Amino acid sequence: MTIAAEEEMPGAKRRSSLIRSPQFSSLIILIVLLAVFAIADANFLSPLNISNMMAFLPELGIIALGMTLLLTAGEFDLSVGAVFGLAPVVVMLLVQNGEVSIGVALLAGLILCVAIGAINGLIVTKIGISSFLVTLSMLLVVRGAALYITQGFPLKSWDQPGFFVTLLAGSFNIGSFRFYTSLWWFVGLSLLAIYILRYAKLGNWISAIGSNRNAAVARGVPADAVKIWLFILTSVLAGLAGMISAFRISAASPVAGTGYELEVIAMVVVGGTALTGGRGTILGTIVGALMLRAIRNGIVLIGVPGLAYNIFVGVIILAMLILHALLQKNAARS
């Protein structure tokens, strides 16, 4: 081997590791999917359809950001869909029935989310029950609470413009595209999450805890506290997403967000974050969120019968995961 070739090694190595990284393969598949949908139906890339996708994207995407951090630390949260439903229901009930201003109601909703996340986190870390079981139970409790306090009915619509409503669900036009402020929330929170996971001291701790909790604890990393805060963060983001969604459609339903927990986890793992902890990627999650949104939207557009479309979603997710597993195996072998 010549010296010149040796000098080129690090750059080449970095490039090949980027190409082999899970978020990169996800990105390629996303581009392929978008191309296929665009060719199959010209309306896929129409301003109206893109605006539509961009309206839905942040609502699950925001939850997925929290879930990525939590999964990287080795835990997950099945109660996010239920929190997505309960938080806006509580806010709207307070606003409609109580003598409470919208700001106070939103604050109360967020405090409720903090409490739910804290309970999840405390039980998981201090009593040592797996997060699967704890948050599954919490899903039932939270969803049950939403159904009970509304007696199962959607709340009457509430549509009074104001600062907070604009902040959460305002909309604006760029050319013939119509965007919601929720997109800014998603962009801002994504940048923050990327910073935390990749560049901050906290991110180092989160990855270390998910990779080898005992090692992290032995180095003085407060693993339990970090996990509890991540449960709180995930819950708050789920509640925030629920409020954004409710204010966008000016109504809150106790069954909103049903099944979102699995969709969000799918976004995160399709993006390349390991379900077993230690390896997380926010960029991958953003790709994953875009992909699931595009799949749901695209297969309806190209005429797959509505009742059959979960089959396609499931198959595409499975294909993604198989691809990640194969790439992982290849990387380990080389």
Partner 1 sequence: MVQEVLRLQNLQKSFGSVRALKSASFTLNEGEVVALLGDNGAGKSTLIKAISGVFPVDRGDIYVRGQKVSIRSTRDAMDLGIETIHQDTSLAADLSIARNLFLGREPVNLKWLGVFAPLALAKLRNAASALLKRVGISKKLDADALVSTLSGGERQSIAISRAMQFAAKVIILDEPTNNLGVEETHGVLRFVKEVRDAGHSVLLITHNIHHVFQVADRIIVMRRGEIVAEQTVADTDLLTVESIITGADMSALLRETRTK
In the complex, least distance from residue 5 CB atom to partner 1, rounded to whole angstroms: 17
Burial class of residue 20 (count of CB atoms within 10 Å of its CB; 0-12, 13-18, 19+): middle
Spatial distance between the Cα atoms of 77 and 58, rounded to a whole number of angstroms:
19
328 is a site residue for partner 1 (CB under 8 A): no
CA distance 47 to 83: 32
Binding test (CB under 8 A) with partner 1, winner from 85, 121, 210, 257: 210
Options 41-49, 102-110, 210-218, 315-323: segment touching partner 1 (CB under 8 A): 210-218
Q: Least distance in Å: CB of 277 to partner 1?
A: 8
Tokens, residue 168: 């959460």
Smallest distance, partner 1 to C-beta of residue 142, A? 28
| Nearest residue (CB) to partner 1, 33 versus 217 | 217
The SS3 assignment for 180 reads strand
Report in angstroms how near the CB of residue 203 gets to partner 1 at its nearest.
8
Nearest to 266 by CA among 32, 85, 61: 61
C-alpha–C-alpha distance, residues 167 and 158, integer Å: 16
Q: Which stretch binds partner 1 (CB under 8 A): 19-27, 132-140, 201-209, 298-306?
A: 201-209
194: contact with partner 1 by CB under 8 A: no
Touching partner 1, residues 243-282 (CB under 8 A): 274, 278-279
Do 166 and 182 touch, CB atoms closer than 8 A?
A: no
Residue type, 57: L
When asked if residue 211 is in the footprint of partner 1 (CB under 8 A), the reply is yes
Q: Cβ closer to partner 1: 171 or 212?
A: 212
Residues in the chain: 334
CA distance 143 to 210: 29
Q: Using the rule CB under 8 A, is 196 a contact of partner 1?
A: yes
Cβ closest to partner 1, residue 126 vs residue 219: 219
Counting contacts by CB under 8 A, is residue 34 touching partner 1? no
